[in-house]
Structure 1
Amino acid sequence: MEYLEFEQPIKELQEQLESCKLVGEENGVDVKQACKQIEVAIEESKKRIYSKLTAWQKVQLSRHPSRPYSLDYIYHITENSFIELHGDRNFGDDKAMVGGMGKIKGIPFMIIGQQKGKNTKERQYRRFGMPNPEGYRKALRLMKLAEKFNMPIITLMDTPGAYPGLEAEERGQGEAIAKNIYEMMNLTVPVISIVIGEGASGGALGIGVGNQVFMMENTWYSVISPENCSAILWRSWDYKEQVASQMKMTPNDMLELKIIDGVIKEPLGGAHYDPSEAAENLKSQILKSYQELSKLSGEDLKKQRQDKFIAMGEFSG
């Protein structure tokens, strides 16, 4: 387990627990009581630390290298019924964007998500979860396929942003994202969008126009990352923690601002502590949302989605 800076007290207690167990095994003595006390201390330390996380600490948790990614959730919630589909039928197959069909409790869904990598080689292969234009075009192709067969859509957002390379701009990165936003507004099937990690800028919004939008507990959603915002304002990353708290980018902030519809609870300490529990919480919310949205007609779904996003631009003086 990799520990973040603010998790060091937990790491120290965990090391004490491992030493306690080792002493018992090597010397054949009963250390159950001592180990139990350390386990209680670990639990109390977790509750104390994770109940008062700052916005920047949530950003750090959203990027934890052990955190489950889109395919981890997809394989769990579809119980191995997922069939991945590839290519945008125009340029190529973007490995940073995955999608396909799978059943959840017997209900067929089209599931699309941004995929990061778990090691250096895989991160390069997945381009650190930053899609090219063909990734967004592949996502749109799958959404249109879902609409054709009246299949509900799930999108999982987890990206530091769309890929900023020259070749991405040459192939129409901005146009691809803009077209996705436009076309998603007009889909006549239920769309459930969930931020499972980083929800950065148009890179996330390119698959994030849902009838219902949720964030997992330790995630962030914003037009720009705290580091880049700090770099623009002060030409330095030194103010990223201050910026994170002022940008209102955490799930609770987004819920208060009515940008999202709910927050999906994670296991104590983050989704990486118990990926199965996190996936089950995600699955429960998806099924609940589907039951609500499936009662609406295609035209009603389209209108509800459009009204939802138009309302985000309204304010009172």
Structure 2
Amino acid sequence: MTNIIIDPYILAYPNNDNEFENYIDKIIELNDFKDKTNLNFLISSNTSNVLVVENNFPYWDTLNEAISKCGLTGIIQPQDIISTLEGILKYAYIENVLKIDEILYNDILIIPDDIKDGRLESYVEELNRLLMYICIAHDEGYDNLLLTTELVDNMVSITGELVEVESEKKNIGDLPKIYKKNIATFHTLDKLYSLLDPIQIWKTAASEFEYDNAIYIYIYQRTGKYLEEKTWIYGRKFLESMKSKGFLHEEAKIKILLKSLANTILCENLRATHALRQGQGGNTSQVTRSSDKAWRRDIDYEYHLHYWELENGFEFASLVVHNDMSIPV
């Protein structure tokens, strides 16, 4: 599972009016994206406190004035931003995911150092703390990405000494005392899409919604564009047919399957498609289901994708071996 860890600094209300539109875009986009993915979006338990102590939580009057200055009156309301930010501050805590109450650490070194530019000391300290938690999460098998300020190489390196862990379930002896790790970062959701691995997302999926997520990300990485709407559904036997042939967990098979699904959705590589016919002859009629038409797409020589062409999209019906010409109705 991939964790998306949110640096509290990017949630801080900007002092510069010129940054206001970017701020609200990021806040709203972040919350929308969380609702569309199966990723773990995490904050630290200190995030709300840091924002309040440093007076970086947006208030209604301040927002209303900024909205008016930007000419956004009637387009967005102060309460929309406040409610969205409050929703983000209810995300799960990384401490709870790791079952750790608190940690003590020393000798933190972060490269590049310019990630600290413009930060008050409280945000620097919370960044140090958060990065140490990410190191621990990495050792527990999580993939971790940090949403933070823009960095040239989209990577931050941390070196630090873990001194103590307060937890009923963890002991300092179970963890490395010295950490030195590289952590991938991003500052826009476009960049996040480019960092995610659709194969791993498919491999760990547990619902149709999560399989959709892998397809969306695969298509974005291939085309550089977000799909504006979903044009496919899964037939009642599709997931079962994939599971029986290893297309849920074998990475090599997932790779070629995602390519075939994307080709179908994008209506590309049509030379690999053939109408499923009612008989063996080329002149026999195409199999239909009311107005839906049955098609077969080559995944490779051994495996094939059978699907229905609907009026407004596709129904992925089954994954079959070479000599199987059936399609679930």
TM-score calculated relative to the size of structure 2: 0.24
Using CA pairs under 8 Å that are at least 6 residues apart, name the structure with larger relative contact order, 1 or 2. 1
Q: Which has the larger radius of gyration?
A: 2
Q: Is the helix fraction higher in 1 or 2?
A: 1
In proportion to residue count, which structure has more strand? 2
When normalised by structure 1's length, the TM-score is 0.24
